């Protein structure tokens, strides 16, 4: 069953109205017709099994057959603070982070990040990344579309996460696996968790020190050095498993 998102105001009196780019995709790519069934989410955790009633150039109207709850969201909110990687790696990271249950992805300009984005370039990138997040949310049957936040510097990222229940920073120079296990064993009690991942060159020690001063806990992901596009997905997978 194909999955689509609408805003809550598009659901009323047992009907759902789909507009925008999804209309062209449904009509001309998926070749959908009246009586086809679809899954619609309001982006706030509520899902609806629907049957298409009509399709035109501007909108798709569907009737709600059943109000359901897919239950695909994790019991805690995971925020991935990703140091800007080179090339198209960020697209892969966002896609997989959404599939693994992240609530939001925050691009972070760290000291060793090779990529430098001015405000105009960053805005265009975020629009592209947000579209990737939406596609991944549909594919993985998420009940909401994770947000790709505006790019932040290191201090802004730490301030953003200051109120979270737990913040983690996988760090290659931190070797205490026993303490890491103890920290991770307590994640079920947390509701907001931040994950800080460095770019290709990793974090500078001063960045890690600043994070630790603000309560961010360093953890180990094992004896091997992981690429930036692997590290975040690894800890998201571990946390998802422990939370569910």
CA distance 65 to 38: 10
Whether residue 238 is predicted with pLDDT greater than 90 in this model: the reply is yes
Tell me, yes or no, whether 60 and 127 share the same domain. no
pLDDT tens for each residue of 75-85: 999 999 999 99
CA distance 218 to 232: 14
Q: What is the mean pLDDT of residues 65-70?
A: 78
The domain tally of the chain equals 2
Give the structural domain span for 59: 2-68
Q: What Rg value do the Cα atoms of the chain yield, rounded?
A: 20
Q: Of 40, 68, 96, which marks where a domain is finished? A: 68
> Which pLDDT does position 201 carry in this prediction?
84
CA distance 62 to 72: 23
Whether residue 70 is predicted with pLDDT greater than 70 in this model: the reply is no
Tell me, yes or no, whether 117 and 236 share the same domain. yes
Q: What is the mean pLDDT of residues 163-169?
A: 96
Tell me, yes or no, whether 52 and 90 share the same domain. no
pLDDT band (50, 70, 90) for residue 115: confident
């Amino acid at each position: 069953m194909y999955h689509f998102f609408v805003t809550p105001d598009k659901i009323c009196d047992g009907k759902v109205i789909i507009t925008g780019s999804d209309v062209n995709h449904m009509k001309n790519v998926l070749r959908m017709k009246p009586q086809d069934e679809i899954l619609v989410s309001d982006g706030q955790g509520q899902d609806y099994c629907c049957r298409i009633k009509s399709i035109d150039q501007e909108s798709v109207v569907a009737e709600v057959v059943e109000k359901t709850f897919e239950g695909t969201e994790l019991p805690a909110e995971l925020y991935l603070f990703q140091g800007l990687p080179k090339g198209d790696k960020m697209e892969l990271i966002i896609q997989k982070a959404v599939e693994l249950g992240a609530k939001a992805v925050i691009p972070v300009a760290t000291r060793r990040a090779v990529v430098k984005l001015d405000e105009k370039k960053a805005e265009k990138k975020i629009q592209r990344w947000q579209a990737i997040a939406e596609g991944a949310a549909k594919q993985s049957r998420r009940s909401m579309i994770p947000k790709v936040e505006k790019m932040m510097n290191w201090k802004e990222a730490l301030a953003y996460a200051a109120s979270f229940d737990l913040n983690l920073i996988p760090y290659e120079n931190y070797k205490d696996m026993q303490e890491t296990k103890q920290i991770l064993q307590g994640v079920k009690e947390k509701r907001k968790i931040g994950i800080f991942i460095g770019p290709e060159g990793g974090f500078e020690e001063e960045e890690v020190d600043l994070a630790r001063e603000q309560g961010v806990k360093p953890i180990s992901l094992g004896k091997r050095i992981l690429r930036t596009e692997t590290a975040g997905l690894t800890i998201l997978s571990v946390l998802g498993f422990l939370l569910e």
